[in-house]
Amino acid sequence: MQPGDSRYESFVRAHNTRFSNRPDQVTIATTAAHVAQALGKAVAAGRQVSVRSGGHCLENFTTWSGVKDLIDLSQMSDVYFDERMKAFAVGPGAIVAPTQNTLFKGWGVTIPSAGCSEVGLGGHILGGGYNFYSRIHGIAVDHLYAVEVVVVGADGQPRIVVATREANDPNRDLWWAHTGGGGGNFGVVTRYWMRTPGMDTSDPTKLLPRGSDQRVRTVQWSWDTLSQQSFTTLIRNYCQWYERNSAPGAKEVQVWASFSASHVSAGVIGLMAGVSKSVPGGEAMLDGLFDAVTAGAGVKAATDSRSELAWIDRDNWFWGPPGRQKDKTSDLRKSYTDEQIATIYRYLHDDSISNPGAQVNLAALGGKINSVRSDATAYVHRDSILRTYFTPGVWRAEADDAAHVAWVRKCYRDVYSRTGGVPVPDAINGGAYINYPDVDLADPEWNTSNTPWHGLYYGANYPRLQQVKRTYDPRHVFRHPLSIRPT
């Protein structure tokens, strides 16, 4: 498909509308063989190729100007039980909400993948994949049994490789690289197979975690009633509760939460937390979190609501419309300092933007995630307790780009001013998460630390990822501004 085709515009449009590109060729792939054919033609012609599943990348990895051929995987969206592999097969074009719906309605199981309903699993799983339930079940790649990948050899010829986690698999390193190595690095994933380790059964209802209905409590506090001290107390208490209650095996890991410290233009900040209805004493644990968070803060809730949420309820999977974005992320091993919280408070009152969607969000990690060795998968973040998401919200007009991008860049830089403007791994910081890519981490203007971008995303796992890159993508066909470089 080329420009002029009536379908062209719908396939080149990205979720982050800050970025756009008009490639010479778009291939709507339907099989691995189809992908291999398109890759072979692009490589033979010397054209830069990129691959897209859901199109939710926060940076321009599929839309930078050098991309001449785009391979679209959105139509490869089948989700089914593969009896031969004793695993669930998931196409790279499968979308989060429909996939969870199919798995739960068909077999009562789930994958701990993104909370955003419209994210494509093709790129999401590659970076690790997490959601609220990862404290209980681990991340998506902890359940990845095998992956089918189209790679390009030194001779320029594509080939289809199936790599599994089996110890005797000659392509096991390729499987390992896809357990957190990020998208656009080694080849084109055309199928995932999901099965929880240790499950040696042919019964599909036992091969992945079980989905369950949730008890949810949501509390909001009005900015009109919050002083800087009360805000600091709420954030500090929240972080410290997760310091105390994130060890693998602790009963409190069944409590998930998301603290939305929203910009003052939103009028409120809020904490949403939940626990499975099947957990004995779950509601008491849930209330224990809220009691701990508000202790000593001296504030009253503006709203306090409780609900029971069915697993496949639409509200279980958040979503947002397309728009212009610039977001950043970091992991926490311990609570922010009061100085860092004061910086967050200052930016939430900064009137250079007035976007109710702007926030610093802290989502719970730990638990089952941290029961896995940091080198067992490419996903290295196995000692974090929280993941912070810095966003100026979504905006529409290009004229507003400068203000929104500047706000989030400066906020992030100042929160991490003691470590060179970025979350250099130390006693407090745990680095950054590649599924929220941020090219600023590779820019010396914004990263003044001595830690390179790949040290923030991959830590000590980066050299092994480079070796896999050299073996399976020796021509460096798959590249973007934060792609893994061959050794």
Q: Each residue of 172-189: pLDDT tens digit? A: 999 999 999 999 999 999
Chain mean position to CA 34 = 28
Q: Do 172 and 253 share a structural domain?
A: no
User: How high is the pLDDT of residue 3?
Assistant: 87
How far is 383 from 27, CA to CA, in rounded Å?
41
Model confidence band, residue 8 (pLDDT cutoffs 50, 70, 90)? confident
Q: Is 394 inside any structural domain?
A: yes
Q: Is 95 inside any structural domain?
A: yes
Tell me 370's DSSP state: G
Tell me 127's DSSP state: G
Q: Do 287 and 198 share a structural domain?
A: no
Q: Is 5 inside any structural domain?
A: no
| Domain CATH code at residue 347 | 3.40.462.20
Q: Do 132 and 100 share a structural domain?
A: yes
Model confidence band, residue 101 (pLDDT cutoffs 50, 70, 90)? very high
User: How high is the pLDDT of residue 314?
Assistant: 61
Tokens of 258: 């998301």
Q: Do 84 and 36 share a structural domain?
A: no
From the number of C-beta atoms within 10 Å of its C-beta (0-12, 13-18, 19+), residue 300 rates as exposed
Q: What is the pTM of this model?
A: 0.95
Q: What is the mean pLDDT of residues 337-365?
A: 97
Q: Is 384 inside any structural domain?
A: yes
| Domain CATH code at residue 110 | 3.30.465.10
Q: Is 15 inside any structural domain?
A: no
Q: Is 478 inside any structural domain?
A: no
Q: What is the 3-state secondary structure (H, E, C) of 188-223?
A: EEEEEEECCCCCCCCCHHHCCCECCCEEEEEEEEEH
Residue with tokens 């357990």: 179
Q: 401-437: per-residue pLDDT in tens?
A: 999 999 999 999 999 999 999 999 999 999 999 999 9
Q: Is the pLDDT of residue 365 over 90?
A: yes
Q: Do 190 and 53 share a structural domain?
A: no
Residue with tokens 């059964």: 201
How far is 67 from 44, CA to CA, in rounded Å?
15
Q: Is 482 inside any structural domain?
A: no
Give the domain range for residue 28: 22-72
Side chain identity, residue 430: G
Q: Do 253 and 139 share a structural domain?
A: no
Q: Do 436 and 385 share a structural domain?
A: yes
How far is 250 from 149, CA to CA, in rounded Å?
37
User: pLDDT above 70 covers what percent of the chain?
Assistant: 98
How high is the mean pLDDT of the chain? 94
Q: What is the 3-state secondary structure (H, E, C) of 427-471?
A: CCECCCCCCCCCHHHHCCCCCCCCCCHHHHHCHHHHHHHHHHHHH
Q: Point out which residues pair with 158 in neighbouring strands.
A: 152
Tell me 14's DSSP state: -
Tell me the pairing of strands 87-90 and 79-82: antiparallel
Q: Is 486 inside any structural domain?
A: no
Q: 197-249: per-residue pLDDT in tens?
A: 998 888 999 999 998 889 999 999 999 999 999 999 999 999 999 999 999 99
User: How high is the pLDDT of residue 316?
Assistant: 60
The tally of domains found in the chain comes to 3
